[in-house]
């Protein structure tokens, strides 16, 4: 009995130390765990933007058909062409940097559209809300980026045309709405993919 107790005590002590190490290591902040929390918030921002994109022109689907042949005018808006093969090759920091650049571009375009609508006494609350969500999304992306990638973030001001009529404002609203919706679908897919694999 005298030899069993010390051995049992020693075994329990080792188990307690091992358990404490496991608990401490599981509570340490890791790069991927911080990403997971931010990815959930980013996806929420993207979903809110997707809903807002449909309200920018206030036209019904049958009315939008009359504008299908209107040429694209805003050359600086992000043009997204991503397939399943792109997803398998993406690198997290490079993709988030690109996402940040696209977010900034849309925010600048939407702020410009808001000013144009205001000049023609058109409702612009949707643009104000969209700009706010884009700013929040941009800040969340920056918090997820590795510090060395933050210096590479771009904020180039695009060349935007002068809006001469309220009708032109409507055309630009339709174009930005369509492109923003595509951006949101792309972003949501990308963020979910990175979230699953981080």
The residues near 172 (Cβ < 8 Å, ≥ 6 apart) are: 73, 74, 113, 116, 163
Task: Please tell me the number of Cα atoms within 13 Å of 80 on its side-chain side.
Answer: 25
Determine the average pLDDT of the residues in 154-161.
77
- CA dist 58 and 179 (Å) reads 16
What is the per-residue pLDDT for 151? 55
| Among 35, 37, 156, residue whose Cα is nearest residue 96 | 35
- For the cut 60, the answer to whether the pLDDT of residue 175 exceeds it is yes
pTM of the predicted model as reported, rounded to 2 decimal places: 0.76
- CA dist 83 and 180 (Å) reads 18
Task: Please tell me the number of Cα atoms within 13 Å of 142 on its side-chain side.
Answer: 15
What is the per-residue pLDDT for 16? 39
Fold of 34-197: Growth Hormone; Chain: A; (1.20.1250)
| Residue 126 · residue 55 · CB < 8 Å | yes
Q: How far apart are the first and last CA of the chain?
A: 51
Q: Sorting pLDDT into bands at 50, 70 and 90, what band is 91?
A: confident
What is the per-residue pLDDT for 155? 63
Please report the DSSP string for 77-132 in residue order.
S------HHHHHH--HHHHHHHHHHHHHHHHHHHHHHHHHHHHTT---HHHHHHHH
Instruction: Show me where the domains of the chain are located.
Output: 34-197
- CA dist 187 and 17 (Å) reads 44
What is the per-residue pLDDT for 196? 84
**Mean of pLDDT over the chain:** 79
Task: Output the CA–CA distances (angstroms, integers) from residue 10 to 5, 14, 98, 173, 193, in the order listed.
Answer: 8, 6, 55, 73, 46
Phi/psi of residue 149, each to 5°? -85, -20
């Amino acid at each position: 009995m005298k030899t069993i107790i010390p051995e049992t005590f020693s075994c329990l002590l080792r188990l307690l130390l091992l358990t404490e190490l496991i608990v401490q290591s599981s509570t340490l902040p890791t790069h991927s765990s911080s990403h997971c929390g931010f990815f959930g918030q980013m996806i929420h921002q993207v979903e809110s933007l997707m809903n807002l994109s449909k309200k920018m022109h206030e036209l019904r689907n049958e009315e939008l058909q009359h504008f299908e042949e209107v040429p694209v005018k805003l050359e600086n808006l992000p043009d997204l062409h991503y397939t399943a093969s792109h997803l398998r090759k993406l690198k997290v920091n490079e993709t988030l940097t690109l996402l940040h650049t696209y977010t900034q571009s849309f925010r600048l375009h939407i702020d410009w559209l808001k000013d144009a609508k205001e000049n023609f006494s058109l409702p612009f609350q949707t643009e104000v809300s969209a700009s706010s969500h884009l700013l929040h999304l941009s800040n969340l992306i920056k918090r997820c980026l590795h510090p060395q990638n933050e210096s590479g973030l771009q904020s180039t001001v695009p060349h935007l045309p002068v809006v001469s009529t309220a009708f032109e404002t409507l055309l630009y609203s339709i174009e930005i709405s369509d492109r923003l919706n595509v951006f949101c679908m792309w972003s949501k897919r990308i963020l979910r993919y990175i979230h699953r694999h981080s």
